[in-house]
Every structure is written in structure tokens, then in C-alpha cells.
A and B are shown apart, each in its own frame.
Chain A
């Protein structure tokens, strides 16, 4: 069981906006920033969002992140077929002294 909680699946049609939630506690999201990763089928994860809402260079502005209290969200607007992937949130956990991940959300583009 993952420390951070994500819905196991999400879906949308091309052009639609979808959001993926990530719920934690005061020891992780509540006191540290949230990062998001995208994992395309059969490949290594890639950096998608850092510091709650910052995009690394090369990541389209269709991807955005937000954080409030002990929860965070990833939004994808203008959904495209190539966005079909697994998405993971992550945050540092102060008590465990390590990274904690969400269980991952499988995004399907219908």
C-alpha cells in the first residue's frame, strides 16, 4: 500500500481536460513539495512537474500541477493520445526520511 493515494485509473477523450489527485499527510505533502512523473509503456519514468507546479524545460504547458494542504493535483488539458501513460506523484516524507510515491494512475485516452 502506497503512502500517497492516487486513483488507479483516469480517462478522457482527445481535447478534454483531466485531473489526477494525490493525497498525503502533514509529514509528506503537507511539509514538502510535490513532484509528478510520467511513465510511458515500457519506458523509464520522466520528470513532469516539480515544486508543486513547475514544468521542466520541454514539458508542454498542457501539463500543470497544484498543491493545497496535504493534497496535490495534476491537470492535463487538450488531452492527446500520446498522453496515455502511468502518472505518479512523489514527495519527501520527513518521518520516514525518504521519498514516498503514489500508487500510480493509469490514464487512458478514449
Chain B
């Protein structure tokens, strides 16, 4: 069964850092693109960052470019989101989601999310 499990969320002060993890099972991270999507309290979905199946391409939203970095550990089958210079507006539930293919075909399986709260 394909599963994604996020962890690493918590409460952090503005300007601080946090690293989120997404452990996957039922598939290998080198076979599919994976994305991070966030949802601020009471708001809609916002794409954050993606990494291609090959790992050679990464993409990030303008709102996090230069502050957030997506990466992965192939042997651990785990994806990461390093978040630096956090702001209050980064407060959200962060989901990792598997793509249907190597890159941007659509996110077909989602994790349950991890909550990040940035206090000002």
C-alpha cells in the first residue's frame, strides 16, 4: 500500500528553522515526483515545492524561494523540506504528496499532514 507520513512540524519563532520529513512506503522516491503542499488555517491549498523522480529537478513557489529547500534521501526513501527564515504566514498544515508520474501529472496520494506554527 502506498503511504506517506509527514513529521517534524511544531511551534517555532519567527526567523527560525524547521525540517519536515516525509517517509514513504509502497513505492520508491526515485520512481515518482513528490511535492509539498500547505494549507493555512481556514484557507485553500498552496503548492510549496516539488522534486522530480530523477531528483535532478526541483521547483519552488516564489513565496518560499530562497528560504525553503526540498531534498531527499534515496536509501531512506524519505523526502525533506528544510524551512529557514520562517514567517508567520508560513503557519499551515504541510502535506507531502506523490505524483502520478515522473513530474507534474497530478498528486494522487497524500499524507495526513504535519502542522507548522510560526509565532511572531
Contacts and interface: CB of A to CB of B under 8 A. Distances in A.
Interface of A: 2, 32-33, 35, 37, 39, 44-47, 50-51, 56, 86, 88, 90, 92, 96-104
A33 B107 CA distance: 12
Nearest to A43: B112
Contacts of A103: 44
Residues of B in contact with A, size category: 20 to 34
- Give the 8 A-B residue pairs with the shortest CB-CB distance, closest first: A99-B47, A35-B106, A104-B44, A92-B104, A50-B106, A44-B110, A47-B108, A101-B45
Contact of B44 (A32, A33, A44, A102): A102
Contact of A101 (B44, B50, B62, B100): B44
A44 B112 contact: yes
Interface of B: 35, 37, 44-47, 50, 59-62, 95, 97, 100, 104-113
A105 to B, nearest CB: 10
Contact of A98 (B44, B45, B60, B108): B60
Contacts of B97: 45
B110 A98 contact: no
A50 B105 contact: yes
A99 B105 contact: no
A45 B106 contact: no
A104 B44 CA distance: 6
A2 B45 CA distance: 9
Nearest to A102: B44
A88 B111 contact: no
A56 B45 contact: no
Contacts of A101: 44-47
B95 A45 contact: yes
21 contacts: A35-B107, A37-B45, A44-B111, A44-B113, A45-B37, A45-B95, A45-B97, A46-B110, A47-B107, A47-B108, A47-B109, A50-B105, A51-B105, A56-B108, A88-B44, A90-B47, A90-B106, A98-B61, A99-B47, A99-B50, A99-B107
A92 B111 CA distance: 21
